[in-house]
Each structure stands twice: as structure tokens, then as C-alpha cells.
Amino acid sequence: MGGARRFSGVKEGDPNLGVIAETLTEHGTRYCMAQNYLPAIKDGDKRVLVVDGEPVPYCLARIPQGGETRGNLAAGGRGEPRPLTESDWKIARQIGPTLKEKGLIFCWSGYHRRPSD
């Protein structure tokens, strides 16, 4: 929550990589996720609600503030309700049936895209 234990700017060969991995995995007792930095995150990300396999027609755009890269509301990001774009509908409709099939009735789908996309 709030982008806690999130590191950015880590590159291959970084001398801190070992301690970062230990911190994130609690010395190998937990999984962690790593991904490439997406520069468009400065424009925010979206959270789309899918209920019983169907997307709700509005999403929450989370916009980073004050030079921060995290748009999390708990980290000071600004939340804006927005109607779903065609791209949002397409993604949500693709994952909705799988979520429903797995019994996941009330789900937030989060992805990093420019909020205008």
C-alpha cells in the first residue's frame, strides 16, 4: 500500500542489488515482483473495477504529485474519476471472464498507462 518497499533506478550491477533483494524478499521467505521502469508513470496509472466479470464504466486515475513517481493515494497522489477509454474497455473485457471463472467477483485491475490512453 502506498508504494512501500518500492525501489526505482536500480540497474544491473548495482552494488545495492543484493540488499534490495533481501529487503524485498525478507531474506528469501517471500516473493517479489520486478519490472522495467515505465517513464509514462509520471502521467499516472489507472485502477479499473471489474465486478462479476464486467467492467464498471469509470476508473480511478492516480496522478503522482510534486516530482514523485508513485501515484498511490497513500503516497500523496491525486485521484481522479474518469470514464473508461476504448483501450480500458478492451483490456477489462479481456480479463473479466477469467476473473469471473476464478471466482474473483470484486477486482481492481491496475495498469500503468497514461491516464489519457
Q: Where are the domains of the chain?
A: 37-111
Cβ neighbours, 10 Å, residue 20: 15
Which residue in this structure is represented by grid cell 503516497?
A: 75
Q: Is the pLDDT of residue 51 over 80?
A: yes
Domain 37-111: homologous superfamily in CATH? ATP-grasp fold, B domain (3.30.470.20)
| Highest mean pLDDT (candidates 10-19, 41-50, 52-61, 73-82) | 52-61
Determine the pLDDT at residue 11: 81
pLDDT band at 2; cut points 50, 70, 90: low
Query: How many percent of the chain have pLDDT more than 70?
Result: 91
Mean pLDDT of the 17-44 span: 86
